[in-house]
Each structure stands twice: as C-alpha cells, then as structure tokens.
A = this chain, B = another copy of it.
Amino acid sequence: MRKDSIPNKEVITTKPFPNSKKIYVQGEIHKDINVAMREITLSDTVDSFSGKKTPNQPVTVYDTSGPYTDPHKEIDVHQGIERIREQWIIDRQDTEELTEFSSNYCNQRLNDQSLDHLRFNHIRKPRKAKPGKNVSQMYYAKQGIITPEMEYVAIRENQKIQEAKRIAKQHPGQDFGASIPDVITPEFVREEIARGRAVIPSNINHPESEPMILGRNFLVKINANIGNSATTSSIEEEVEKAVWACRWGADNIMDLSTGKNIHETREWIIRNSPVPVGTVPIYQALEKVNGKAEDLTWEIYKDTLIEQAEQGVDYFTIHAGVRLAYVPMTAKRVTGIVSRGGSIMAKWCLAHHKESFLYTHFEEICEIMKTYDVAFSLGDGLRPGSIADANDEAQFAELETLGELTKIAWKHDVQTFIEGPGHVPMHMIKANMDKQLAACGEAPFYTLGPLTTDIAPGYDHITSGIGAAMIGWYGTSMLCYVTPKEHLGLPNKEDVRTGVITYKLAAHAADLAKGHPGAQHRDDALSKARFEFRWEDQFNLSLDPELARSYHDETLPAEGAKIAHFCSMCGPKFCSMKISQEVRDYAAKKELDEQQVLEAGMKEKAQEFKDKGSEVYL
C-alpha cells in the first residue's frame, strides 16, 4: 500500500482548451453573478474557387472545468479555489458561522497531530442555518425567492445560444412528456425547484461550487465517481482526478473514498472542486466501526452526516429504501445485492433483525439536510447487478419506498433526487423511467448506466453508455459514469477521462433526442467544419480535442495535413466530402445551384464540368 501524500501543485492540470477562452456572463437580477462558459473560436470558411473568406461565429459551450482553464486565475490547490457563492450565502442572513465543528469525529481528526502532514492548509469554520431556519434552495423557491444560484443555472443552461438558436434549424425532439422551454428563465428554474422537479445541489459549506441544475427539463448532466480504496490511490491523485474529471465535463463528482483518511481526502477535494460533490456517508461510518456493518449505530451515522455536511458535501446518497422486508427478495438473485451501501444496510438489518435505522430516522436526517442544504440522493441499494436481476420485485419495492421518502423530504423542503439502476437490457429500460416518474413525483432520476449486457468487462463504459443515452432521452436528469475498469479495479486518470467523455456524449445524444433547444448547434458547427476540411475547428469543437488531434496525426502528422482535403482513412481520391465539395463548388462557380444545372439539362454544362474536373484532380 502506498503512503498517502498531499497534492503537489504540479500534478493539477490547468491548461485551457485549444482556441478557447473563458467568458463570463453577468446576471441581470443578481449583478454579482458571473457565469463561466467556454467560447471556441473558429477559422473562416474559404471558398475554394474565389478564395473568398466567410467568418464562422464562435461557439459557446457549457463549461464544467472551473477556474482551472482560466489562465487569468491563480490556482493554488493548498488554498482552494475562489468561493464564488460565499457572499450570496452571507447576504441571505439566515446562516451563522460556527465557532467550532459540530461533529465529534471531525474534532478528533482536527486534534490528531499525526494527521497534520495530510491536512488541507486552510480549513475554515463551518456555516449552519440559524436556529429554526431552512436554507435549502427548495425552501427559497417555495417562498417565491429567486436566488443567485437559480439565476446562475438559468444563464448557464442557455449557453448564450439564444442568438444561435434563432438561426439554427434543428430536428424537433421526442421528450416523453417533459416540458422544456425554449429559453430557461430564472423564474422557470424557481418553479421547477419548488415543485421538486429540479435540484441545485448547493451546500452552504461548499461556496466554491458553480451552481448546476438537475431535472428532466434541463440539460442531462453526468457524474464522475472518484475516491481511493483501501488497496490503492492517494489524496494527491484523487484531487487531480477531481479537477481532471471536471475538465472533461463532469457536472459533479462523488467522492467514494473508502480507504484511510477519508475525512482529509474529502476536505482537499471539496476545497478544490468547482462542481457539487456527493458522498455515501455510510462508507465512512463503516470505517468508523472497523468495517463491521452490525456495529453501525444511528449515532455514529448521524455524526458522520454532520461531519460531512459541515465540510460542504452537496448531496448524500442514503440507502433508506433498503428495508428489512426487502432483503429476502434478493435471495434468489443471480447477483444478490450489488450496491455497497445497500449490502451494508442489508447486513445490518439481518444482524439486528430490525428495520433500517436510515428508514426509521429519516425525518431526523431531513432536519440535518435542511440546515446545510444538503440534497438527498436516495440510493437504490437493491439495484440489479446483472441482466438476470433487472426490474425484479426487490428493485421496484425499494423504488416505491423511495417515492414515500421523497414526499417526506419535500415536506421538509429538502431537495431530493432518486438513484436508479444498474444492469438492464435495452427493452426494459423505459419501464424504469416510467415507474420512477410515477412513484417519485418527477423528482430527478440519477442512474448508473444502465449496463445493457454483462458480457463485456473492460468495455462497460460502452455497455452502460448505451443504456445511459437511452434513459437520458426518456427523462433521466443525471447519468453516473461507468469507466472501462468497472467490475475490475479502481479507475486511473485515463479511465476517468474515458468514462467522462463517454457519458458526456451519451448525455448529449439524449439532449438531441429530447430536442433540447440549441443542443444541435455544436453538432452542426462541427459537421460544417468537417465538411469544409477545417480540421483544427473539427478538433477544437469536439469533446476531446487532444485525442481527436492525436488520432488524426497518428497517420498524417504534418502540419500541412491539417488543411488537406482528405485524411488517411480514404486518401485524396476517395474522400467523399472532397468530391461532394467539388460538385458544389462547380455549381457555385457557375452561379447555378445543382438543381439548375440539372433542370436546365444543358449538355454543355456536363462537358464544362468534365473539363473543370480534369484540373481539380491531381
């Protein structure tokens, strides 16, 4: 086992994307809002006959990378990133800074000098709601208040493409009953949060996070799991994985650390995370009882919730739907219980022969959540772990319970979303979405894949990317990524990148299919660049410019090849796009479109084309 180490500045990836600059869009209701986006500059379209240049408008894209890709921001991982939400929270005057942490365990760790070398350098005092106050975005929304967080996500969702949208034709989508407006307004955001159909995970102790929204009427989001396990990885690596995941497009991350020093690792991650951070508190609680599920108690768990809430975790996965009576339903399964949290709670229930303390103490948990605005991610502890177990009694019994719990959470104005499977064959995916919408009153759905077959370990980012794209289309709000290492080992940095990009493209495919306004803009811009052999633009508009460029350069590395009207796939004579361009250019030169060429039916045009053709070719 490697020794833990704190992050070295050099390991953090900060360079901007090629031909991209960070832009900030100011709020209108809240003038101190500056929503970060990435603007990709494109080269001109050059007419191959006349040489006439036509500029291509820059393309603005959703940007999850935080300050790391802004060369004007100083990054010091030992200080943490800018706390953009701090003043908004203070201005609401419903919270107070505590003089010390409320969790016993947290204080123990802080006082343990043997941990000094691992500790984040600038730990701040936590904030908490003033007595009797509810500080959740849902509470504000129900009061009719548009918070800066709400305006932020409204601006962010629109991606500054109102202008582009007006000119872009795009295919009408099929949205299965969603209600996606043409332009997202702050008021629409508020309404959606008030009715529970959307969530902005935004713990008051994570002021560093740039607000993002989950909901079926918004862009589909993705989550990247990071975190070390007992057998591998260090704090340094995990912080870089967090920054790296955001760089490639993670809308939020979950820290699933289960090794030593979970508390310290989390502090480093949250202080440097520009996206919301989720956890599964039972993991740490289990470490506190040395891995003996049966020794878990409500008190230990509760202290863990408070510990993590005061560090700034934005949402907790809580497997409160794993009820005692459901455990036997898993006995005949091919793969039993495959959720870590679910299996821990099942073991506890059996060992004590008691109802789960997460279920029995659910309202107390709500009280904690609303004091910090931690959102529920109601865990699907009984999700199927194999195709055989998909959509079974245990899974759907738990889902019904999650629906009941959602209603209780909403009674407390606690923001809530629901976790979903797992392993499900394609034709059984839609039933999951439909049942979730019905059982949970349209609370956002957050699924892991689903994986559409079990037979491809090593490629489970793909088996699950298929299911993820489909369930995203059907209405899921957030897709939890799966990396190529799923079922086999802990993902490394490259696995994280592959997982994130796979899920980013799946989420985008879902947005296109739902007909999300403006979603097709980037596809159109990239395809136009492709057709015009603007190779650099094609790379820069893609989800992974580095990889696209490196694949191209593998066979044609010369700079000249970046303006060539072909690539190594077909070579110069066989490039369909080149031939197609020639057909078009010919028509353009004649000041005729192809329609006219044909309709005129003039034989001599054909002859001219032939003559012209002779010089177009090599």
Contact = CB atoms under 8 A, between A and B. Distances in A.
Interface of A: 169-171, 173-174, 229-232, 258-259, 283, 286-287, 291-294, 324-325, 327-328, 330-331, 334-340, 342-344, 346-347, 350-353, 385-388, 390, 423, 425-428, 452-459, 461-463, 465-466, 469-470, 473, 484-490, 492, 501-502, 504-506, 508-510, 512-515, 520, 522-524, 526-528, 530-531, 538-539, 541-544, 547-548, 551-552, 554-556, 567-577, 579-584, 586-587, 593-595, 597-598, 601-603, 605-606, 609-610, 613-614, 617-618
A200 B465 CA distance: 32
B510 A426 contact: yes
A486 to B, nearest CB: 8
Contacts of A541: 455
Q: Which 9 residue pairs across A and B have the least CB separation, nearest first?
A: A230-B571, A336-B580, A386-B527, A291-B573, A426-B513, A343-B579, A343-B576, A452-B509, A458-B547
Given A452-B509, A524-B334, A292 B613 contact: yes
B353 A568 contact: no
Given A340-B579, A351-B606, A459-B501, 18 more contacts: A169-B388, A230-B572, A331-B587, A335-B528, A338-B577, A340-B570, A343-B580, A350-B609, A385-B531, A385-B576, A387-B523, A388-B520, A454-B530, A457-B526, A458-B547, A458-B551, A485-B554, A489-B554
A470 B425 CA distance: 11
Given A457-B542, A523-B388, A569-B487, A583 B327 contact: yes
Contacts of A425: 171, 509, 512-513
A351 B609 contact: yes
Nearest to A599: B328
Contacts of A426: 469-470, 473, 509-510, 512-513
21 contacts: A169-B388, A171-B425, A231-B555, A259-B571, A292-B614, A328-B594, A336-B583, A338-B577, A342-B576, A346-B583, A350-B586, A426-B509, A426-B512, A454-B526, A455-B541, A456-B504, A457-B548, A458-B551, A487-B538, A487-B567, A487-B569
A459 B505 contact: yes
Given A490-B555, A555-B489, A573 B258 contact: yes
Contacts of A335: 527-528, 530-531, 577, 580
B231 A556 contact: yes
Q: How often does this chain occur in the complex, in copies?
A: 2
A582 to B, nearest CB: 7
Nearest to A581: B336
A505 to B, nearest CB: 4
A552 B487 CA distance: 8
Nearest to A353: B606
Given A338-B576, A385-B527, A523-B388, A609 B328 contact: no
Contact of A505 (B174, B455, B570, B581): B455
Contacts of A573: 230, 258, 286-287, 291
Given A327-B594, A576-B340, A469 B452 contact: yes
A580 B346 contact: yes
A428 B539 CA distance: 26
Contacts of A350: 583, 586, 594, 597-598, 606, 609
